A and B are shown apart, each in its own frame.
Chain A
């Protein structure tokens, strides 16, 4: 761990990891998953991801959805296998059983339902389904580990307005639920409305009216608190921005065409898309420079973040490279049937993905070994998931002027 700089204690203090780092790691793992259909490797990948989730998940509301993603993965596999059984297009030699055949009408291109179900077909569908399920689970891991609100706070300036709209939405949503319950209760005081629609209307209309009325108050509050202050952008810059964005979009359009139609030279595909995106990106960032604002306590990007993100990238690159050299181990054959094996290099690469379970700072403070708890009464009540935990990281506090020092809570769990 010390290889990533910073002292051991600095790494171990609990703080939430930058959400971007979790996403980069998860996307790396997902990329790795997309490169193989080997069920053993995929199972290992799922195990690795699940282990990291178990080690670094908080008890925040968004951190509870991992199970849903696992179920979703199982559903995906089931859909694949069932469809393959019903609509098997390529027969294998090992017939498991035969379903009754139902011929479909002419319009259905002579598709027939049922027929012999081969082991090869089912296995191929299972492998493929498992790969997609693994991808989903990797993304689920990111959803569970990364705080969506902090992710929103890290949005680039060009998208500031959209970010604000979504922030407002996230803030309002629980309030709306409460106001819906309140209105429902109140409406019963007028007697039960005849019919379900009428009852729904009696809830929807007051809630919606109330919410929209409040949006005006919110807008006034935002205006008078300085929202939307922008530096004057000179006309020439504005023209340049427009030109950049439009040229970039044109590039992306051409590049997309190139990607889709491979009869065009390969250079017309990805490179042109990349150049187009770059142009548009530069345009956006120049346009976004007019937004003058600062960020309160931004999530730091330090050694643990580098470590977690690099881990993901390493796993992805390793699997891509291994697949490029020898793809046989990554894609076990189903025709002819073959037992999948664990290729040692790929296995090792996937195990690297386990590192964030230790690299990322813990979500709960470590149990003190030598020192006695300083003030356990003050410590135990503070939540470890929110900002309370971050107050103790200390180093991002303002520099040494005469600050009314924040009541830094020494969090010690015994």
Chain B
């Protein structure tokens, strides 16, 4: 499921803005005591949901049909069920494993939306809706997006599993890193030696943050998440990839839909069939199922029309 240029552009721009919002502790440059600067993180909490709304709406309009939508719902449900399962034990989060595999099979746009909907459904199921949710959604969306953008589409077998496992490990660390970064000033508060210092040079804050991450989550949650990812992808990956690819095949996304009018019954039926059916496009004129006579028409890009 390829993205059109416009959803891709919107996704790119939103990702850029989102990245800035994640990295605000490093980028914030208050010269003096300007009041509005300290509000930046709170403003971001308000902006990000709307940005997500824009990008999700665009990606949906740009090429997810009903079948993809239903699959999205089902896979989100699986993710939402998997997420609380290992939550008690350090970092055993099985969501990302599914997200990486699904992103790989269904493509970047689907992967991004799946990351978002998985986090949202899980939050709604467990009562975890809050300002952090849009950030989780965006970060998980990136994980799925990245998996879809991985190179070597023809790669199969062990090499593919190795690629996905490596990506899974990186993605797990990256997810932990950006989520920590965004919340770091709040986790620690001011005044400790690893605390965020408003307005300090980027490198100094980065250094403090890296130390903070190393001191806290890197060896527990992030490592646990990365290991879970690698182990799950290596052991369950091959089987799950087969299941996911089978579902793509069964759904026959974008399979050509064609019609040809029946010829008058004077011609013997068999003869009509013989001429009309075996892919002889001279007789079988493709009909775009939304133009013309339809009273309501159909959404643009709802399904890729048969290439006429």
Contacts and interface: CB of A to CB of B under 8 A. Distances in A.
Contacts of A213: 247, 250
A273 B77 contact: no
Given A197-B236, A204-B240, A219-B67, A260 B124 contact: no
A222 B66 contact: yes
Given A212-B243, A246-B9, A259 B70 contact: no
A293 to B, nearest CB: 12
B262 interface: no
Contact of B299 (A68, A140, A230, A263): A230
B218 interface: no
A112 B44 CA distance: 34
Given A176-B78, A252-B17, A287-B57, A139 B66 contact: no
Given A139-B131, A216-B67, A281-B50, A83 B124 contact: no
A250 interface: yes
Contacts of B126: 65
A215 B71 contact: yes
A158 B53 contact: yes
A222 B68 CA distance: 12
B208 to A, nearest CB: 7
B14 interface: yes
A34 B192 CA distance: 20
B137 to A, nearest CB: 10
A158 B193 contact: no
Interface stretch (A141-149, A304-312, A403-411): A141-149
Contacts of A249: 10, 13-14, 17, 51, 54
Contacts of A230: 296-299, 302
A166 B121 contact: yes
B192 A215 contact: no
A402 to B, nearest CB: 30
Interface string A142-171: 111000110110001011011011111111
A108 interface: yes
Interface stretch (B152-160, B171-179, B183-191): B183-191
B127 A232 contact: no
Nearest to A217: B70
Interface string A81-110: 001101111100000000000000000110
B191 A88 contact: yes
Contacts of A266: 34, 36
B117 A166 contact: yes
A60 B56 CA distance: 30
Interface in B23-40: 24, 27-32, 34, 36-37, 39-40
Nearest to A230: B299
A288 B282 CA distance: 39
Q: Is the interface of A mostly helix, strand, loop or mixed?
A: helix
B296 A232 contact: yes
Interface stretch (A121-129, A338-346, A353-361, A388-396): A121-129
Interface residues of B, number: 93
A139 B80 CA distance: 20
A83 B192 CA distance: 7
Contacts of A204: 236, 239-240
Contacts of B186: 132
B37 A162 contact: no
Contact of A170 (B39, B77, B236): B77
A189 interface: no
A184 to B, nearest CB: 13
Nearest to A324: B35
A128 B218 CA distance: 24
A228 B299 contact: yes
Contacts of A168: 69-70, 72-74, 76-77
Nearest to B186: A132
Nearest to A223: B66
Contacts of A167: 73
Interface string B266-285: 00000000000000000000
Interface string A50-90: 00000000000010010010000000100110011011111
B128 interface: yes
Nearest to A140: B127
Contacts of A325: none
Interface in A175-227: 175-177, 180, 197, 200-201, 204-205, 207-209, 211-216, 218-219, 222-223, 227
Contacts of B207: 109
B36 A269 contact: yes
Contacts of A205: 239-240, 243
A283 B235 CA distance: 46
A284 B57 contact: yes
B195 A89 contact: yes
B73 to A, nearest CB: 3
A54 to B, nearest CB: 17
A159 B56 contact: yes
A256 B18 CA distance: 10
Task: Give the residue among B51, B128, B192 with the most A Cβ atoms within 10 A.
Answer: B192
Contacts of B10: 245-246, 249
Contact of A108 (B32, B47, B211): B211
A89 B17 CA distance: 33
A166 B299 contact: no
Contacts of A228: 65-66, 298-299, 302
Contact of B189 (A80, A201, A246): A80
A28 interface: no
Interface in A228-249: 228-233, 238, 242, 245-246, 248-249
A283 B299 CA distance: 16
B130 A270 contact: no
B164 interface: no
Given A176-B81, A249-B13, A253-B13, 7 more contacts: A65-B127, A125-B191, A143-B128, A180-B81, A253-B16, A261-B27, A266-B34
Nearest 8 Cβ contacts at the A-B interface: A168-B73, A232-B297, A172-B77, A169-B76, A169-B121, A65-B127, A219-B70, A212-B247
